[in-house]
């Protein structure tokens, strides 16, 4: 079920059988010369909807802009401050808790979101506790990164070896090619595999990674690979979601 | 052009001919017994993409959750605090200003967002000024509500008379029926036209408007009406966008 | 009754018959070459006291500095950030709610305050709800702009036609002349009616409106006009206040 | 000069001869059975205007609501959180610094404001420094409490001995009687001199000081005393202001 | 008892006999050419542990960085913003209140902390009240500055006369020499007693006090003096703590 | 070098040869029936001083209270909100950057700090960039958890196998026994190895882990082990620090 295509009485009915919600979170940031700026949101949303379909779970609105400050020296990249993203998560979950949701499974498309999301979960537990809501103690959040599941990572190794890299990876580019074949971009990449180093501030990032890639060769991506990644991730995260919901 | 389907070099190229961006903003809130929770985001996004297509403007990521605190006593409604939404707007625009965008045209699907957005614009002008950015003085924001254009309002009056109401209106429901015909919902509404009063807090709202509608009869909506509203709004807001971009 | 000239036992007695409070809010900002910097606070405070006298309502302290960021490139203009003003309103109302007030009628002298006030009302409803106060659900805020009442606007049209403009208007200048005849200022204005455009940031505002006026000819103002505006507004807003208090 | 009765060109002219501004700050809080809720703002504003008149200094808008959280269990008391008041001071001074003011002399009517004001000064110096304003390093704030000047304190001792107390004092009540003779209140006070202890939270305060006074006998106040206090304070604070302005 | 060397069951046992906690707070800031940057934290921590030992009170973690913005133009000085320090105090106390502590005695080593701490106490009382904790009304904070006790001040006058000054004083330097004799520093000071003026922003401070001292001659300090100060302060503050705990 | 035992001229001299600073960060939280509440701060501080000694690096003040919200249902546990800790880190680093430090190596003793610290680093890079400081682009932060170094983890596995667990571990308890042998605590633990599950809010945590341990058997700890852990960690983190400082 998709929250945005549901009515409130349908949500009320859903809450009688489940208090779980899947929340996709992406980012709006450069993904190298050929990767789409919306890559992380596109992947997270599609996989979340796949997981929702396979588990009968409600899927909430995608958070399209995440924590990508280090990418913001490239045109078109947008980031929330960590402190802002924490408030977005807190406000979102607090509303949902008030009407009965208690377990939130974030399907995440961007490594840069992880730390801030974990901090936001802690902040939210404390905030909900402050409000003295009856169901406050039941609130639980879990993070599922589609790109770190074991099957997904094995597939990336098998297909791309050490050219997977860590940003603008062929795996994520492949998923967007599968989902938006009409938006497949072409460009010569030089060097084929860009070097991979540390991440600090935005200006430093652009200096280190002039075309935006980190150790990746996205030209290896194909839409067929994308379908494989999509299916592997939906399967893995569906299992994770069900395990999370069944946890005592 | 859609930002999320573009690469950063494509954005760099776009910036050479335009510094404008369209940003759709919706809400995730109850829309009565038959309206979709995502109505406002769905309408804003589709119309924004239509405006982008007709004006060659870049369309940024949709803000799917807005200021809907008064709806949050209904299951599935989500709202940011005004203070949070202001930070989201500030962070978003500041990133875009840093890489060259200066004119932001918000296409809005929800009346409850208007005040907070206007406050956010003021806050953003001051924030950008604080940062001493060279292009800071050039930053301008404008708000285009798809539902308040004169042609759209005339169409609503012609089709629905005094049954348009002010929330869960047949006009917005019609647009979602046009865009998502498979998600069209049915329910008997009683009374046909719910009464229309003031808006205060969330509990008060639910007490006043037990099924979530405000003075509207959404059962009058049809997908064909939706297409008419969509087209009228795209036309009106395209003119508004071009006027905004051409303003000295 | 004026809160600042009352004792706490008098307030306790008042609360037994009414839970309403009128709160004047102005601004401290340039009003063109001849308008007083305190114009908006002066008008709001005087009219609020008039409304209080005619309706037996308690009048709280004037908020003298509002949201006037766009005027701050002129010497002497002061503004709170929207986010700060929202906190001021939230703190103020929360204190009053704790001791029994529940209905707040803001009499406003400045268009630039409107959006932030509306956002602040939403924020306050949610904040009071978070505190689990017994009377939290009863809290209601309403905004009464003295300059947008129908009788006031008709009077302005009758007296000034298209020279009323939208900032440093003859109507507001007239009210200050009526209240502070000793502070009436004289200056040649060129052009008589300055052009009227958009509002963005502070530097842009000063560039567009070099002497601070927006489309107005304040030299048309007289103290006698001011009295007429004052009386018309007190009458209109007294009716609004009573209607607000009587609303179920 | 009063800022609120000046025009911006008059402020511009003033800035050529002085960069100083006097800012009155009061509180809106219970002052015992006979003291006015506005006592602190009334005293601060009147004395500030007296100082302004005697030193040719610009007097800015009064901050009518201060830090009075400990009084908020009494009806009609209003307080900003310290964190909010700090933002109000920061925003106010930042605007004034941008157009040329650099020395701010706060004339304060309420002991509860002192700590927050001092913290706000530190926060403001750092904030102005962050903005890289050319005049940022010149910004200086000073606090003048009208009730702690040596002549004022001697007068209080002479007139009231150990019945001056520390809240709802005869000295401050006397000043309001001098300024607003029509608002003089009468009530039997029991005991004549209430006990004087510590200050913690609001509920604790009301339990300790059931009628709101702290060690004071405000029934000793007379309008004639009020005039003496007013004149002594204007004289002392005028000297302080001039010394502050002349400091290298 | 030292909290950091205790287990949680030991704390649980302690709470059965006392709900008091001593919290040392210092600063990390320049102390002239020979004073240690950690002077204020070192003194506060050692004296707090002495007071804890003599009164059987629990001593919590030292807050090592305080409000020292005015010192931050000197290398190695660190300061929290007042607004940040207030949050640190609020968070710290809220946690302790939730598990049973209600009386907090801050032993402070730095004058610059005083205003912010007092503001933080007010903010904390209100915050704890907002949380509706059962013990919320019992929360009390008190501030004990080791350097303002009457015996300590008399000792400073006796030993140093008018060369005690107000920053990088021989008394505080002496305490650090007593505690860390191996870290005793030597430097010629010129002039012996630096002038003593006002405090505004950081750049202004460094210009006024080029070597960081304010009116002090720390070369008069000896470890033996330090022991005397330490013992006098422990004695005075132990009495203050017990009085605070016994207050009704 | 220890910052708190240095003078500002010594820091100035240090900055001529290095712009690096080590910052220890711990936590003040329950560590099971026998672990010290200060365990994480004690370990981080001692190891940081060891690393400082071996690398000639400056060691700043320990942050004694971290992000431990999930432990706060146990008496004596203290936590900052993630949002507060981020401000503490931001303020601390901003001060140090202003006087010349640019590389910050955090030696961390608590897993719960990791996410918030990473978020704080991002926030700090952006904040420093906002300030337009000349050295802003050079700022880099790195996180070194003493307990996740490969040699330390191997040692834990060799000594404790699957009884190391993840909270109140024998390894961290051992380090505190080595450093504070006088504070070694004894208690029967039942079961020897407590179960290890998820972490959500504070009340949920205490329900899951009634004595505070997570999968650990701290009774295996000895002071001799502690010395081994200490030495292994100092060696590993010294290498990490030097690598960090030498990174281009």
Q: What is the pLDDT of residues C149-195, one digit of tens each?
A: 999 999 999 999 999 999 999 999 999 999 999 999 999 998 878 77
Which residue in A has a C-alpha nearest to residue C128's C-alpha? Answer: A131
Q: Are D209 and D33 in contact (CB under 8 A)?
A: no
Instruction: Say yes or no to pLDDT of B242 above 90.
Output: yes
The answer, yes or no, to whether residue D220 has pLDDT greater than 90, is: yes
* Res D85 pLDDT > 80: yes
Distances (CA, A) of B198 to A55, B157, B208: 41, 21, 9
Interface test mutation site (partner A, options C122, C129, C130, C132, max chain A beta carbons within 10 A): C130
3-state secondary structure (DSSP) of residue C105: strand
User: Among residues F60, F16, F36, F54, which one has the least CA distance to residue F183?
Assistant: F36
Task: Give the E-state strand segments of A26-96 in sequence order.
Answer: 58-59
d(CA B128, CA D131): 11
Lowest mean pLDDT of C239-248, D71-80, F194-203, F234-243, name the range: F194-203
Residue A138 and residue A118: Cα distance in Å, rounded?
A: 17
* Interchain pair C99, D75: CB under 8 A: yes
What pLDDT score does A134 carry?
84
Sheet with F140-145, edge to edge strand ranges: F58-59, F20-25, F103-108, F140-145
Cα–Cα separations (whole angstroms), residue D226 to A39, D165, D207, D236, F232: 72, 16, 30, 15, 74
Distance separating alpha carbons of residues C243 and D100, to the nearest angstrom: 46
pLDDT at F195: 74
Q: Which structure tokens are listed for B82?
A: 């005004």
Question: Which chain E residue shows the shortest CA-CA distance from D129?
Answer: E201
Ramachandran area for residue C161 (φ above 0: left; ψ -120 to 50: alpha; else beta)? left
Structure token digits, residue C214: 């927006």
Which residues does residue C104 pair with via DSSP β-bridges, in sequence order?
Answer: C21, C141
- Residue C53 pLDDT greater than 80, yes or no: yes
Helix, strand, coil percentages, rounded to 5, for chain A:
55, 10, 35
How confident is the model over C213-226, as pLDDT tens digits?
999 999 999 999 99
Environment class of residue B137 by beta-carbon count within 10 Å: exposed (0-12), middle (13-18) or buried (19+)? middle
Place of tokens 């809240």: D167
| C30 CB-side CA count, 13 A | 28
**What are the Cα distances from residue A197, in Å, to A215, B156, F20?**
8, 57, 20
- Write out the E strands in chain B: 20-25, 58-59, 103-108, 140-145
> Residue B120 and residue B91: Cα distance in Å, rounded?
10
Chain C residues lying within 8 Å of B140, measured CB to CB = 198, 200, 204
Contact E116 D122 (CB under 8 A): yes
pLDDT of residue E31: 98
pLDDT at position A11: 98
Structure confidence at residue A112 (pLDDT): 98
Q: What is the pLDDT of residue E192?
A: 79
Q: Is residue E195's pLDDT more than 80?
A: no
Q: Is E18 exposed, middle or buried (0-12, 13-18, 19+ CB in 10 A)?
A: middle
DSSP-assigned beta bridge partners for residue C218: none
Closest CA to D147 of D44, D20, D219, D21: D44
Rg of chain D taking only CA atoms, in angstroms: 18
Nearest to A79 by CA among A36, A30, A44, A42: A30
Selected for mutation to probe chain D from E85, E86, E116, E139 (highest D CB count within 10 Å) is E116
**Chain B residue whose CA is closest to F131:** B131
* pLDDT, position B197: 78
Tokens describing residue B6: 């573009």
pLDDT in tens, F110-142: 999 999 999 999 999 999 999 998 888 999 999
Residue C83 has phi, psi (to 5 degrees) of -65, -35
Q: Phi/psi class of residue E45: alpha, beta or left (left: φ > 0; alpha: ψ in -120 to 50)?
A: alpha
Does this model's pTM top 0.90? My answer is yes
B189-203, C47-61, C221-235: the lowest-pLDDT one: B189-203
pLDDT, residue A192, reads 79
Distance CA E213, CA E205 (A): 10
Average pLDDT of the segment spanning B99-107:
97
Left if phi > 0, otherwise alpha if psi is -120 to 50, otherwise beta: which for D225?
Answer: alpha
In chain A (248 residues long), the average pLDDT of successive 10-residue segments reads 98 98 98 98 98 98 98 98 98 97 98 98 97 92 98 98 96 98 94 82 95 96 98 98 96
Q: Are F122 and A70 in contact (CB under 8 A)?
A: yes
pLDDT of D117 above 80: yes
Output the pLDDT for position E241: 98
In the block, residue with structure tokens 């701290």: F218
SS3 state of residue A108: strand
**Which residue from B158, B143, B65 is spatially nearest to B170, judged by alpha carbons?**
B158
Say how many C-beta atoms besides its own lie within 10 A of residue B181's C-beta: 10
pLDDT in tens, E104-144: 999 999 999 999 999 999 999 999 999 998 888 999 999 99
Q: Is it the case that residue F203 has pLDDT exceeding 90?
A: yes
DSSP state of E167: B
Give the residue from F130, F131, F137 with the most B CB atoms within 10 Å of its CB, the best one to mutate. Answer: F130
Torsion of CA B1, B4, B9, B11, to 10 degrees: 50
* Chain F residues with beta carbon closer than 8 angstroms to that of E188: none
Q: Is the pLDDT of residue E196 over 80?
A: no
3-state secondary structure of E43: helix
Nearest Cα neighbor of C19 from C57, C67, C76, C63 is: C57
Query: For the CA atoms of A155, A160, A161, A165, what is the dihedral angle to 10 degrees?
Result: -100
CA separation for the pair F67, E141 (Å, rounded): 23
Alpha carbon distance C86, C22 (integer Å): 17
**pLDDT higher than 80, residue D41:** yes
**Percent helix, percent strand, percent coil in chain F, to nearest 5:** 55, 10, 35
Residues 6+ apart with CB under 8 A from D161: none
Of E70, E140, E200, the CB nearest to D200: E140
Q: Which residues in B lie closer than 8 A to residue D132 (C-beta atoms)?
A: 132
Distance of CA F202 to the CA centre of its chain: 21
At A143, phi and psi to the nearest 5? -110, 125
DSSP single-letter state for residue F214? B
Whether cis (ω within 30° of 0) applies to the bond prior to F191 is: yes
Chains meeting A at 3+ CB pairs closer than 8 A? B, C, E, F
Which of E112, E137, E201 has its CB closest to that of D129?
A: E201
User: Which residues of chain A does C130 touch, with a Cβ-Cβ cutoff of 8 Å?
Assistant: 130-131
| Closest Cβ–Cβ partner in B69, B121, B140 for C122 | B69
B20-25 vs B58-59, strand pairing mode: parallel
Q: Collapsing DSSP states into helix, strand and coil, what is residue A216?
A: coil
| Chains contacting B (3+ CB pairs below 8 angstroms) | A, C, D, F
> Hey, where are the domains in chain A?
3-186+199-240
**Nearest residue of chain B to residue D98 (CA atoms):** B130
Q: Considering chain B, what percentage of its residues have pLDDT values greater than 70?
A: 100
Cis preceding-peptide flag for D127 (omega within 30 of 0): no
Class of the domain covering D3-186+199-240: alpha beta
**Averaged confidence pLDDT in chain F:** 96
| Residue D175 backbone zone (phi > 0: left; psi -120 to 50: alpha; other: beta) | alpha
Taking all residues of chain D, what is their mean pLDDT, rounded to a whole number? 96
**Residue D194: is its pLDDT beyond 80?**
no
Q: Taking residues E208-231, what's their average pLDDT?
A: 97
Q: Do E30 and F36 make contact, defined as CB atoms within 8 angstroms?
A: no
Residues E43-47 have a mean pLDDT of 98
Average pLDDT over residues B70-89: 98
**In chain F, which residues have their Cβ closer than 8 Å to the Cβ of A247?**
198
Sequence-distant (6+) residues with CB within 8 A of E4 are E61, F28, F36, F37, F38, F41, F42, F64
Read off the DSSP letter of residue D167.
B
Backbone angles phi, psi at D63, to 5 degrees: -85, 105
Q: Do D137 and E67 touch (CB under 8 A)?
A: no
Work out the angle between the directed axes of helices E82-98 and D82-98 (0-180°, nearest 10).
170
Label residue C74 by pLDDT band (50, 70, 90): very high
- C-alpha–C-alpha distance, residues C200 and C73, integer Å: 12
A48 Cβ contact list (under 8 Å, min separation 6): A22, A23, A24, A59, A62, A107
> CA torsion sign, A166 to A168 to A174 to A180?
positive
Q: How would you classify residue B180: left for phi > 0, otherwise alpha for psi between -120 and 50, otherwise beta?
A: beta
Chains B and E lie in contact, requiring 3 or more CB pairs less than 8 Å apart: no
Tokens of A161: 């070896």
**Separation of alpha carbons A34 and A43, rounded Å:** 16
Q: Is the dihedral of CA A24, A27, A31, A35 positive or negative?
A: positive
For residue C155, give both structure tokens.
Answer: 């009077």
pLDDT at D127 over 90: yes
How many angstroms away from the CA of D30 is the closest CA of chain B?
29
Chain F contact partners (≥3 CB pairs within 8 A): A, B, D, E
- Look at B192-196, D225-229, E141-145 and tell me which has the smallest mean pLDDT: B192-196
Q: For residue E205, what pLDDT band results from cuts at 50, 70 and 90?
A: very high
Mutate to test the interface with E, among A127, A128, A129, A130 (most CBs of E within 10 A): A130
Phi-psi region of C215 (alpha: psi -120 to 50; beta: other; left: phi over 0): left
């Amino acid at each position: 079920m998709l929250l945005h295509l549901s009515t409130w009485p349908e949500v009320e009915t859903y809450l009688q059988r489940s208090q779980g919600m899947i929340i996709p979170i992406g980012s709006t940031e450069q993904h190298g010369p050929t990767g789409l700026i919306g890559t992380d949101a596109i992947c997270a949303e599609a996989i979340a909807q796949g997981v929702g379909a396979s588990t009968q779970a409600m899927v909430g609105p995608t958070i399209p802009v995440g924590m990508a400050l280090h990418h913001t020296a490239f045109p078109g990249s947008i980031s929330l401050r960590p402190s802002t993203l924490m408030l977005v998560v807190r406000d979102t979950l607090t509303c949902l808790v008030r009407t009965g949701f208690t377990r939130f499974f974030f399907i995440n498309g961007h490594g840069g979101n992880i730390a801030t999301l974990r901090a936001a979960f802690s902040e939210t537990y404390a905030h909900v506790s402050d409000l003295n809501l009856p169901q406050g103690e039941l609130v639980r959040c879990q993070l599922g990164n589609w790109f770190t599941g074991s099957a997904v990572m094995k597939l990336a190794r098998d297909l791309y070896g050490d050219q997977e890299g860590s940003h603008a990876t062929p795996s994520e580019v492949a998923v967007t090619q599968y989902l938006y074949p009409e938006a497949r971009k072409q460009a010569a990449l030089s060097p084929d595999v860009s070097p991979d180093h540390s991440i600090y501030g935005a200006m430093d990032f652009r200096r280190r990674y002039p075309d935006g890639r980190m150790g990746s060769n996205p030209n290896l991506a194909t839409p067929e690979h994308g379908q494989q990644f999509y299916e592997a991730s939906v399967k893995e995260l569906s299992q994770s979601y069900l395990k999370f919901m069944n946890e005592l």
